[in-house]
Amino acid sequence: MLIFGGSASQPLAEKVAKELGQEAGKLELKRFPDGEKYLRVHDEVKDRDVAVVQSLYRTPDENIFELLLLIDTLRDLGAKSITAIAPYLAYARQDSRFYPGEAVSSASIARLLESAGTTSFLTIDCHLHRLGDVAKVFTIPARNLTAMHELGKYARDHFNPKKPIVIGPDEEAGQWAEVVAKELDAESTAFKKVRVRKEGETGSKVTVDAGSVELKGRDAIFADDIISTGGTIAEAAKACKKKGAKRVFVLCTHPVLAQGALKRIKAAGAVKIIGTDTMPSPISKVSVAPVIAAALKT
């Protein structure tokens, strides 16, 4: 299989290719003077299985268009199969019509990827609260991988946690806390979160209920899929500190880090915040390349 990296994920694609003992495919990507994108594939792809890594972060619309252009080009050049890998799948959170007339964006993205020629799809720790499984959004084979084992191993090797408890800041994140806890041989739990988004607004307010779990003198390690504004983790960290937790650590797969998230979380008392390289960031210390490479082998 030949691995290509779009401009959002070139270094990650190279790491995946290295894990598979090969070099990444060669793409030429630049801009025409009017701002349109120029794309050229420099490898022979006819009758070959190919995979494209393109994470849909920070400039999601631009990254999505480039991914579609690349997939359509690979199909046109005769690729036998095309696996689209979006380690961070933008638009996944809008998986429901919360108010009349809203776009169900997760379904729209899936339809676009399929119609461009994608034959299978991979993502990592995808946020699909209501649907539960990314395979329900696609009609082609689609898998949601997890980076939580790698994050758990990092916590085990670098945090030196005392009496640790791994916490999902909301109920959906309980599944990720469980995986991390196993790597640390620790207990896990999940807080309850209420997010209120008013009609017509894109921002929201979050409250977190820590419940009755005993945290006094313990190290709390949060595990979540996304840190966007950091509001969720900041509220959860404050709740932990109030209950007497000793140190608060944070693990996340996708460090979106919008609107001063890191500052907000540190101010809430977290001592270390670690994410993966599904998108580049100052906290992207753990690579998902082995997770993707392993999935491509099966």
Residue 90 C-beta: closest distance to ligand R5P, Å: 12
Tokens matching residue 90? 């933008």
**The total number of residues written for the chain in this structure:** 298
Q: Is 106 in the site for ligand R5P (CB under 6 A)?
A: no
From residue 178 to residue 217, the character string flagging contacts with ligand R5P as x (rule: CB under 6 A) and all else as - is: ----------------------------x-----------
**Which of 25, 117, 152, 230 is the binder for ligand R5P (CB under 6 A)?**
230
Q: Which is nearer to ligand R5P, 82 or 236 (CB)?
A: 236
Stretch that binds ligand R5P, among 57-65, 159-167, 224-232, 269-277 (CB under 6 A): 224-232
Query: How far are the Cα atoms of 81, 159, 186, 209, 213 from residue 271, in angstroms, in the given order?
Result: 45, 10, 19, 21, 21
Cα distances (Å, whole numbers) of residue 63 to 50, 144, 279, 283:
19, 20, 12, 21
- Calpha distance 294→118 (Å, rounded): 20
Q: Does 127 bind ligand R5P (CB under 6 A)?
A: yes
Residue 60 or residue 230: which is nearer to ligand R5P going by CB? 230
Among 87, 231, 255, 275, binds ligand R5P (CB under 6 A): 231
**How far is it between the farthest Cα atoms of the chain?**
61
Two tokens at 114? 């399929």
Closer residue to ligand R5P, CB minimum distance, 189 or 229: 229
Nearest to 234 by CA among 254, 263, 258: 263
* Catalytic positions, written as ranges: 193
The mark string for 156-175 relative to ligand R5P (x by CB under 6 A, - otherwise) is -------------xx-xx--
From 27-35, 177-185, 221-229, 289-297, span contacting ligand R5P (CB under 6 A): 221-229
Per-residue b/e over 7-38, b at no fewer than 16 CB within 10 Å?
Answer: bbbbebbbbbbebbeeebbebeeeeeeeeeee
Round the CA-based radius of gyration of the chain to a whole number and report it: 20
Q: Is 125 in the site for ligand R5P (CB under 6 A)?
A: no
Rounded distance, CA 178 to CA 172, Å? Answer: 11
Does position 251 bind ligand R5P by CB under 6 A? no
Instruction: Compute the least distance from the CB of residue 124 to ligand R5P, in Å.
Output: 13
Residue 17 interacting with ligand R5P (CB under 6 A)? no
Judged by beta carbon, residue 40 or residue 205, the one nearer ligand R5P is 205
Choose which of 123, 146, 232, 276 interacts with ligand R5P (CB under 6 A): 232
**Binding residues for ligand R5P, per CB under 6 A?**
127, 169-170, 172-173, 206, 224-232
